[in-house]
Amino acid sequence: MLFVSQAQLENKSPRYYLYIITGSNVCLNRDRKELVSLWFNISLAHGWLFLLMNTPDTLFYDGQCPLCMREVRLLERLADGHLRMINLHEVPSAPGEPGQLEMLKNLHLRTGDDEWLTGVDATVRAWSHTRWGFLFKALRLPFIGTLADATYQYWARKRFQHLYGCAKCMDVE
């Protein structure tokens, strides 16, 4: 027999859910957007299993940018199961998220705790989900971080202008 119920936890982000499970081989919907298979071989004579599922980080990328797509394909191969990737051209912006134009200008990542990271911070966080993440953390060192941020902002501006030919859009906030 299988019993699954879901209850939102008090004083927590609405993206956290409590799953109460008995039985085995359970497939649950996690944060209502992504289907996550959880296979349990549980032999409980009686009782409950309580799991607090944390929502993974979400990287929003420009699916029309060849360089971005190359990095996303590499991240898909190397990342652990705690990073999802969403092509900005395939989904509309949800309430509370930055607009699509803003996200196309700079890389955006929403952490599992609903914190938004952009630019180099988003890159470092995304790569922290791979075994190579320690290399990217160097981009946050004092002098290197300042240089990395300036370089990224210059590159992101040029990339947006080249792909979308919209210099005027760069001034829209």
**pTM of the entire structure?**
0.66
Give the C-alpha separation, 94 to 110, whole Å.
12
Under a CB-based contact definition with an 8 Å cutoff, are residues 55 and 30 in contact? yes
User: Which two three-digit tokens encode residue 141?
Assistant: 């060192």
- pLDDT per residue as tens digits for the range 49-100: 444 456 899 999 999 999 999 999 999 999 998 999 999 999 888 888 899 9
Which residues face 70 on adjacent strands?
none
pLDDT at residue 124 is higher than 60: yes
pLDDT band at 167 (very low <50, low <70, confident <90, very high): low
CA atoms within 13 A on the CB side of 19: 21
